[in-house]
Amino acid sequence: MDRKIIAALRENGRATYADLGRSVGLSASSVHERVGKLEAAGVITGYHAMVDPSTVGLGVTALVGIHPTDTATDEDVAAALAALDEVESCYAVAGDEAFVVKVRVATVDDLERSLNRLRRIPGVGRTNTTVVLSTRFEGRPNNAGLEDERNGNA
């Protein structure tokens, strides 16, 4: 039941407890109690507005692979990356790169300046940049397995 509530909230974080209750087959008070427990347990970590980046002047997105130096510590590099406003997401990855970051900026000139800042971070040996031409989907809720549960196959 908690997974169904989470799936409904991921689809619409502004849904009322009554709306959630109707969609999962519980009373509003039961949903309220379950959501409170999910928040207290750290399963639900927050609610936010999804914004179209281009409408707020962030029309250029790039994925940047960070290749560390031999003396770099992941913690120090990650902390320096977190200090850059244009770095939206940071993923520690397996392979030659230590991190892949998502950078959002207004223009290609801004991207060039951001890449220069990234390359000056102590511990960053080099970067590998892929400019995003278009976004087909992003931030999609992963509700895998819930369809089977809804159809009684789980």
Return the CATH class of domain 1-41.
mainly alpha
The residue whose two tokens read 């750290």 is 42
Domain ranges of the chain: 1-41, 53-132
Q: Strand 124-132 and strand 99-105: pairing?
A: unpaired
| Domain boundaries 53-132, corresponding CATH code | 3.30.70.920
Residue-wise pLDDT for 87-121, tens only, equals 999 999 999 899 999 999 999 999 999 999 999 99
Q: Quote the pTM value.
A: 0.80
Residue-wise pLDDT for 27-70, tens only, equals 999 999 999 999 999 999 999 888 899 999 999 999 999 999 99
Which residues, in sequence order, are bridge partners of residue 91?
Answer: 100
Given a contact cutoff of 8 angstroms between Cβ atoms, the answer to whether 66 and 101 are in contact is: yes
